[in-house]
């Protein structure tokens, strides 16, 4: 489920195999940095489904697969744990906004938007909206509207005021759809990697249209 496995050898959970979602955050971020989105999404939803309590979504430092006394047969170690809950929120943030220092010179250089978003979030009629979200380059706002049946996905983007060396925007379409072409403010531009567009250097609001077709 994309979380770190553990098997304690002492204490109340001795011999009870389980996981420690609290310590999987850097693993998830490493997957996103390498653009292994599908693997990262396993951890994102695994943390939500098993790394937190049912319905109330309270995180713990660790949880067992079967050993415990709750109605689902699981035991939690040190709940409530705000850091565990925050780890999931950080993962959510990185699905939408990724700011990286990819050349490892201690200065952020890359901003990737919507790079980890699940495909079903862009199903026909879906919307994604970000307002005044902080990044390493400044505030970014974005509104995405999926109109697959009409043949496009429109994204209105207000980039941060400090330009990133590299800024990429992705539209990860649901299965059965593909990006046919991309327009930025009405001008056709190259498609990057099959579903993205290069917006490097942009600091003013732009409108991006991903023209799509069924496969």
User: What is the reported pLDDT for 10?
Assistant: 61
Structure tokens at 10: 């002492």
Q: What is the residue-averaged pLDDT of the chain?
A: 91
For the cut 90, the answer to whether the pLDDT of residue 3 exceeds it is no
For the cut 70, the answer to whether the pLDDT of residue 33 exceeds it is yes
Ranges of CATH 2.60.40 domains, the chain: 101-214
CATH number among 1.20.120, 3.40.50, 2.60.40, 3.30.70, domain 101-214 = 2.60.40
User: What is the reported pLDDT for 201?
Assistant: 94
Give the residue-averaged pLDDT of 65-89: 77
Q: Under 8 Å CB-to-CB from 196, ≥6 apart: which residues?
A: 115, 168, 169, 170, 171
For the cut 70, the answer to whether the pLDDT of residue 46 exceeds it is yes
What proportion of the chain, given as a percentage, has pLDDT over 90?
Answer: 70
For the cut 60, the answer to whether the pLDDT of residue 72 exceeds it is no
For the cut 90, the answer to whether the pLDDT of residue 73 exceeds it is no
Cα distances (Å, whole numbers) of residue 89 to 92, 94, 142:
5, 9, 18
For the cut 80, the answer to whether the pLDDT of residue 88 exceeds it is yes
- The total number of residues shown for the chain amounts to 215
């Amino acid at each position: 489920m994309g979380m770190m496995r553990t098997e304690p050898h002492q204490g109340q959970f001795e011999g009870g195999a389980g996981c420690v979602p609290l310590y999987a955050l850097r693993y998830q971020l490493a997957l996103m940095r390498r653009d292994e989105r599908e693997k990262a999404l396993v951890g994102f939803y695994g943390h939500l489904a098993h790394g937190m309590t049912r319905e109330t979504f309270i995180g713990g430092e660790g949880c067992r697969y079967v050993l415990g006394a709750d109605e689902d047969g699981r035991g939690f170690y040190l709940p409530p744990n705000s850091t565990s809950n925050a780890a999931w929120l950080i993962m959510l943030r990185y699905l939408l906004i990724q700011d990286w220092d990819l050349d490892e010179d201690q200065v952020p250089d890359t901003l990737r938007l919507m790079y980890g978003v699940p495909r079903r979030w862009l199903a026909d009629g879906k919307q994604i909206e970000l307002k005044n979200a902080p990044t390493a380059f400044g505030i970014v706002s974005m509104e995405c509207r999926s109109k697959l049946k009409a043949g496009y996905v429109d994204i209105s983007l207000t980039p941060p005021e400090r330009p990133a060396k590299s800024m990429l925007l992705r539209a990860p379409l649901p299965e059965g759809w593909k990006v046919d072409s991309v327009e930025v403010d009405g001008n056709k531009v190259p498609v990057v990697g099959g579903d993205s567009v290069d917006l490097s250097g942009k600091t003013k609001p732009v409108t991006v249209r991903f023209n799509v077709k069924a496969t």
